[in-house]
Amino acid sequence: MESSRPALTVLSDDEASFRSAIREFAENEIKPHVQKMDQAAQLDKDVLKKLFEMGLMGIETPEKYGGAGSSFTMACLAVEELGRIDGSVSVLVDVQNTLVTNALLRWGTDAQKENYLPKMAKEWVGAYALSESGSGSDAFALKLRAEKKGDKFVLNGNKLWITNGNEASLFIVFANIDPSKGYKGITAFLVEKNFAGFKVGKKEDKLGIRASSTCELLFENCEVPVSNVLGEIGKGYKIAIETLNEGRIGIGAQMVGIAQGAFEAALSYVKSREQFGKAIGQFQGVQFQLAEMRTELEAARLMVYNAARLKDSGQPFIEQAAMAKLFSSRAAEHIASTAIDLFGGNGFTKEYPVEKFWRDAKIGQIYEGTSNMQLQTIAKMEMDAIP
């Protein structure tokens, strides 16, 4: 149940209308499937189809490629509203827009854009393949090797923890063409699911966002045309860093959505649950907890929106993105945990929604840069700013 009090954050008329449309869509088309998808740990194919029909898989994609031609902020609003209902659907849309499509728009050749962007706006899911077993936070320690042979690169190695692995038809894959050059050998490749030598491996059995597929990728003499190099050879590190800086704002939006969903569930519950002859929401102690939750939620939302608007306006946003992800992921876990407390024993059961919000929130402090990595980014930028 939605809170009767609107969000305090100011949106333009277009943004408010867009968010309202996504909220209605999420309530009607996604919410009925959430529990079943979580239990099955699998995305409903009809839900995926409706995401494309709603235009949510190409929000920033220019209209000439079949997309909505909208802004990064709009993409974050969609991610937030979907997260309010289901974190799994939210992250699928987030990776599609803020990582894969964003990278293609910034670094793709005209031919690559013409080939892939229309497909991604209408039918193809994208995935972003950077992590490996030995390269998590140390992303540039990756071992996937790419060797040039004629007009192709041959890739050998594995990737781990790749979101959208099962659903994706296009993967942005980072491999090293010359390990002796360290991170300067890293190159980004556009790999299609049907390329010979490429296979999606096992799907992880996760604590939260269970309907979102997180998979291993296997490359055994996988042949990728030279024309499928994204950006310049040896500049994959730049693509990875800059894309993740933007993607962290999207994760922040996902966390705000999850926190909003948990808060609304708790608010509704404390108004109806009675103890000692009155609704528990009438006790001051409970009211103070709600006030803390609401304040954290609004602070997180403002930080995410600020970072998104800075990005859209072409201003520096890296530190703001790191702070937004750091704070919103902590807030989401705390708000969801407090919601469980307010539900009491019911909150610890799967019959009520708050335990899932808590499980879904935890990943926010891990993927697309752990909280420690965000702290390091913030501290470094502050230290560098000192004369």
Q: With contact defined as beta carbons under 8 Å apart, do 333 and 364 qualify?
A: yes
Estimate to the nearest angstrom the gap between the alpha carbon of 381 and the chain centroid: 24
Pairing of strands 125-129, 168-176: parallel
Contact 97, 75 (CB under 8 A): yes
364's tokens: 């926010």
Residue type for position 116:
Y
Are the C-beta atoms of 152 and 205 separated by less than 8 Å? no
DSSP state of 204: P
Contact 239, 231 (CB under 8 A): yes
Q: 259 and 361 in contact (C-beta within 8 Å)?
A: yes
**How does strand 152-163 pair with strand 145-149?**
antiparallel
Q: How far apart are CA 43 and CA 25, in angstroms?
A: 17
- Positions marked active-site: 368
Cross-strand partners of 155: 146, 222
**Contact yes or no for 103/243 (Cβ under 8 A):** yes
The two beta strands, 186-192 and 229-230, are antiparallel
Is residue 245 within a helix (H) or strand (E), and if so which, with residue range?
helix 236-272
Q: Can you tell me the distance from the alpha carbon of 255 to that of 108, in angstroms, rounded to the nearest whole number?
A: 29
CA dihedral 1, 52, 49, 205 (to 10 degrees): -70
Angle at 295 between CA 26 and CA 270, to 5 degrees: 65
